[in-house]
Chains A and B, each alone.
Chain A
Amino acid sequence: MTGSFWRFTLLIALKDLRIEGRSREILYTMGFSAALVVLVFSFALASASDPAQGPILAAGVLWSSTLFTGTVALARVLDRERENESIRSLLLSPAPRAAIYAGKVIATSLLMLAVEILLTVLVGVLFSTGVFTHLVWLAVILLLGTLGFAATGVVFSAALLRSRSREALLGALLFPIVIPVLLAASRATACLFDPLSPDLDPVSFWTRFLLATDVIYISLGLWVFEPVVSGD
Chain B
Amino acid sequence: MPTQPPSSRSLRFSILSAITFLLFVIACNAIADAPREITMGLVQKIFYFHVPCAWLLMLSTLVCAGGSIAYLFGGSERGDRIALSSAELGVLFGLCVLVSGPLWARAAWGVYWQWEARLTSSLLLWLMMVAYVLARRYGGPSARRLAAALALFAAIDIPLVYFSVRYFRSIHPQTTVVSTLVPGMRGAFWLSLLAFTVLWWLLISVRVAVEDRAAEIIDLEVLLDQAEEKKA
Is there any pair of Cβ atoms, one from A and one from B, under 8 angstroms apart in the complex?
yes
B115-169 with Cβ < 8 A to chain A: 124, 127-128, 131, 134-135, 138-143, 145-146, 148-150, 152-154, 156-157, 160-161, 163-165, 167-168
Are B146 and A159 touching (Cβ within 8 A)?
A: yes
A65 to chain B, nearest CB (A): 20
Are B150 and A163 touching (Cβ within 8 A)?
A: no
Contacts of B141 in A (CB 8 A): 162-163, 232
Are B146 and A216 touching (Cβ within 8 A)?
A: no
Are A232 and B135 touching (Cβ within 8 A)?
A: no
Contacts of B95 in A (CB 8 A): none
B3-45 with Cβ < 8 A to chain A: none
Among B142, B148, B152, B161, which residue has its beta carbon within 8 angstroms of that of A180? B161
B124 to chain A, nearest CB (A): 5
Q: How many residues on the A side are at the interface (Cβ–Cβ under 8 A)?
A: 33
Q: Is A27 an interface residue (CB 8 A)?
A: no
Are A177 and B145 touching (Cβ within 8 A)?
A: no
A154-188 interface bits toward B, Cβ cutoff 8 Å, 1 = contact, 0 = none: 01100111111110110011001101100110010
Contacts of A155 in B (CB 8 A): 149, 153
Are A172 and B134 touching (Cβ within 8 A)?
A: yes
Are A176 and B146 touching (Cβ within 8 A)?
A: no
Q: Is B177 an interface residue (CB 8 A)?
A: no
Are B139 and A177 touching (Cβ within 8 A)?
A: no
Q: Is B72 an interface residue (CB 8 A)?
A: yes
A3 to chain B, nearest CB (A): 27
**Cα distance, A166 to B139, chains bound together (Å):** 8
Give 10 pairs: A residue, B residue, CB < 8 Å, sorted on A.
A160-B140, A163-B138, A163-B143, A177-B128, A177-B153, A180-B163, A180-B164, A227-B72, A227-B73, A227-B145
